[in-house]
Protein backbone atom coordinates (compact mmCIF):
# COMPACT_ATOMS: atom_id res chain seq x y z
CA UNK A 1 0.00 0.00 0.00
CA UNK A 2 1.15 3.55 -0.67
CA UNK A 3 1.85 5.83 2.23
CA UNK A 4 -0.03 9.04 2.86
CA UNK A 5 3.28 10.87 2.46
CA UNK A 6 4.00 9.34 -0.95
CA UNK A 7 0.53 10.07 -2.32
CA UNK A 8 0.64 13.64 -0.99
CA UNK A 9 4.07 14.13 -2.58
CA UNK A 10 2.72 12.89 -5.94
CA UNK A 11 -0.13 15.41 -5.74
CA UNK A 12 2.36 18.19 -4.94
CA UNK A 13 4.59 17.14 -7.86
CA UNK A 14 1.51 17.11 -10.13
CA UNK A 15 0.58 20.68 -9.14
CA UNK A 16 4.18 21.88 -9.57
CA UNK A 17 4.47 20.21 -12.99
CA UNK A 18 1.21 21.81 -14.15
CA UNK A 19 2.49 25.22 -13.05
CA UNK A 20 5.83 24.66 -14.80
CA UNK A 21 4.27 23.32 -17.99
CA UNK A 22 6.34 20.15 -17.45
CA UNK A 23 4.63 17.59 -19.68
CA UNK A 24 7.11 14.78 -19.02
CA UNK A 25 6.96 15.46 -15.28
CA UNK A 26 3.19 14.98 -15.36
CA UNK A 27 3.31 11.88 -17.56
CA UNK A 28 5.95 10.30 -15.29
CA UNK A 29 3.42 10.17 -12.45
CA UNK A 30 1.17 7.79 -14.40
CA UNK A 31 1.34 4.03 -14.96
CA UNK A 32 1.55 2.95 -18.61
CA UNK A 33 -2.05 1.61 -18.54
CA UNK A 34 -3.56 4.51 -16.57
CA UNK A 35 -6.78 6.35 -17.37
CA UNK A 36 -7.65 10.05 -17.13
CA UNK A 37 -11.30 11.13 -17.06
CA UNK A 38 -11.27 14.93 -17.14
CA UNK A 39 -13.96 15.96 -16.51
CA UNK A 40 -15.89 13.02 -15.09
CA UNK A 41 -18.43 11.98 -17.70
CA UNK A 42 -16.12 12.60 -20.64
CA UNK A 43 -14.49 9.79 -22.61
CA UNK A 44 -11.51 8.55 -20.55
CA UNK A 45 -8.02 8.85 -21.99
CA UNK A 46 -6.52 5.35 -21.85
CA UNK A 47 -2.80 4.59 -21.83
CA UNK A 48 0.27 6.75 -21.49
CA UNK A 49 0.29 8.09 -25.07
CA UNK A 50 -3.34 9.27 -24.86
CA UNK A 51 -2.59 10.82 -21.47
CA UNK A 52 0.50 12.58 -22.89
CA UNK A 53 -1.61 14.01 -25.75
CA UNK A 54 -4.32 15.15 -23.31
CA UNK A 55 -1.85 17.05 -21.12
CA UNK A 56 0.07 18.42 -24.11
CA UNK A 57 -3.17 20.03 -25.22
CA UNK A 58 -3.94 21.30 -21.70
CA UNK A 59 -0.49 22.86 -21.37
CA UNK A 60 -0.94 24.99 -24.48
CA UNK A 61 -2.23 27.59 -22.02
CA UNK A 62 -0.11 28.89 -19.14
CA UNK A 63 -1.77 27.46 -16.04
CA UNK A 64 -1.78 28.86 -12.51
CA UNK A 65 -2.55 25.91 -10.24
CA UNK A 66 -2.89 25.98 -6.44
CA UNK A 67 -4.16 23.53 -3.85
CA UNK A 68 -7.05 24.99 -1.85
CA UNK A 69 -6.92 22.57 1.07
CA UNK A 70 -5.15 19.54 2.39
CA UNK A 71 -4.70 16.37 0.37
CA UNK A 72 -6.86 13.47 1.55
CA UNK A 73 -4.84 10.28 1.03
CA UNK A 74 -5.66 6.78 2.26
CA UNK A 75 -5.70 3.17 1.00
CA UNK A 76 -4.08 3.82 -2.41
CA UNK A 77 -6.35 6.80 -3.16
CA UNK A 78 -5.98 10.56 -2.88
CA UNK A 79 -8.39 13.44 -3.44
CA UNK A 80 -7.60 17.12 -3.51
CA UNK A 81 -9.32 20.42 -4.25
CA UNK A 82 -7.48 23.05 -6.23
CA UNK A 83 -7.88 25.92 -8.65
CA UNK A 84 -6.66 26.24 -12.22
CA UNK A 85 -6.42 29.77 -13.57
CA UNK A 86 -5.70 30.62 -17.19
CA UNK A 87 -6.18 33.31 -19.81
CA UNK A 88 -8.15 32.32 -22.89
CA UNK A 89 -8.97 34.75 -25.68
CA UNK A 90 -8.14 37.69 -23.42
CA UNK A 91 -10.35 36.51 -20.56
CA UNK A 92 -9.18 35.13 -17.23
CA UNK A 93 -10.97 31.98 -16.10
CA UNK A 94 -10.66 29.86 -12.98
CA UNK A 95 -11.79 26.25 -12.66
CA UNK A 96 -12.20 24.72 -9.18
CA UNK A 97 -12.05 20.92 -9.53
CA UNK A 98 -11.57 18.10 -7.10
CA UNK A 99 -9.27 15.43 -8.53
CA UNK A 100 -9.21 11.83 -7.42
CA UNK A 101 -6.11 9.68 -7.95
CA UNK A 102 -5.93 5.90 -7.54
CA UNK A 103 -2.44 4.41 -7.19
CA UNK A 104 -1.00 1.02 -8.07
CA UNK A 105 1.36 -0.84 -5.74
CA UNK A 106 4.36 0.73 -7.53
CA UNK A 107 3.16 4.20 -6.46
CA UNK A 108 2.06 5.32 -9.94
CA UNK A 109 -1.32 6.89 -10.68
CA UNK A 110 -3.56 4.36 -12.44
CA UNK A 111 -6.71 6.47 -12.51
CA UNK A 112 -7.37 10.21 -12.40
CA UNK A 113 -10.89 11.57 -12.33
CA UNK A 114 -11.56 15.34 -12.28
CA UNK A 115 -14.85 16.37 -10.72
CA UNK A 116 -16.13 19.75 -11.87
CA UNK A 117 -18.90 21.22 -13.96
CA UNK A 118 -20.15 24.56 -15.28
CA UNK A 119 -20.86 25.81 -11.73
CA UNK A 120 -17.15 25.37 -10.95
CA UNK A 121 -15.87 27.56 -13.82
CA UNK A 122 -15.70 31.28 -13.17
CA UNK A 123 -14.56 34.40 -14.98
CA UNK A 124 -11.97 36.23 -12.90
Q: Is 22 a catalytic residue?
A: no
Rounded distance, CA 109 to CA 103, Å?
A: 4
Interacting residues of 67 by C-beta distance below 8 A, sequence separation 6+: 11, 12, 15, 80, 81, 82
Which residue in the list 14, 30, 55, 99 is annotated as catalytic?
A: 14
* 38 catalytically annotated: yes
Q: Which of 22, 32, 38, 99 is catalytic?
A: 38
Show which residues are catalytic. 14, 38
Amino acid sequence: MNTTEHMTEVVQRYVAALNEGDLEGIVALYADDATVEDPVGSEPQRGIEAIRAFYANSLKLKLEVALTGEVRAVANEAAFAFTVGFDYQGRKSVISPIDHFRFNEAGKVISMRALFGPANIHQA
